[in-house]
Amino acid sequence: MHLLTSLICGLLFGAGLTVSQMVNPDKVINFLDVTGNWDPSLAFVMGAALLVFTPGYFFIIKSRDKPVLAPSFFIPTGKLIDRSLIIGAVLFGVGWGLSGICPGPAMTNLLGGETKIIIFVIAMLFGMKLYSLLERYLSTERDRNE
């Protein structure tokens, strides 16, 4: 049941991204270009999402002790703002601003077969693997120095 629900939620999310044009890099870049050819339509997408989510959260989710299909809610406990977090956020923001492609919509857009999207996803996966290897190397070096 958990996998089926996840599949349905993913398909609904992907359909929403597609209908709202959030999978279109040009649309996203125009939304971010507030001093040029600004397209405010994605703000309406966010507003509509909040109009749907907010009542659902307050009347359904907030009053629950646990999710319907999980033993507990996952609430991150980390509050440390460190160098890795800042560098990652800056890289994400710069990459999104320059390309107009965000990882979620990119995965949805893979089905379109557009070369730019395929290259982005390959580069994203390569970057994730590179980070994992680098983090493991740095962790080993720290352990050696202690």
Q: Is 1:69 a contact under the CB 8 Å cutoff? A: yes
pTM over 0.75: no
Task: Report which DSSP code applies to 1.
Answer: -
Distance from C-alpha of 27 to C-alpha of 29, rounded to nearest angstrom: 6
Q: Would you state the pLDDT for residue 77? A: 87
Extents of the domains making up the chain: 2-145
φ/ψ region of 125 (left if φ > 0, alpha if ψ in -120 to 50, else beta) reads alpha
Tens place of pLDDT for every residue, the chain, 146 residues?
788 988 998 888 888 888 888 888 888 888 888 888 888 988 898 899 899 999 988 888 888 888 878 888 888 888 899 888 898 889 888 888 888 888 888 888 887 888 888 988 898 899 889 988 988 888 888 788 77
Q: Is 105:17 a contact under the CB 8 Å cutoff? A: yes
- Written as six digits, the tokens of 58 are 């307050």
- Written as six digits, the tokens of 130 are 């590179």
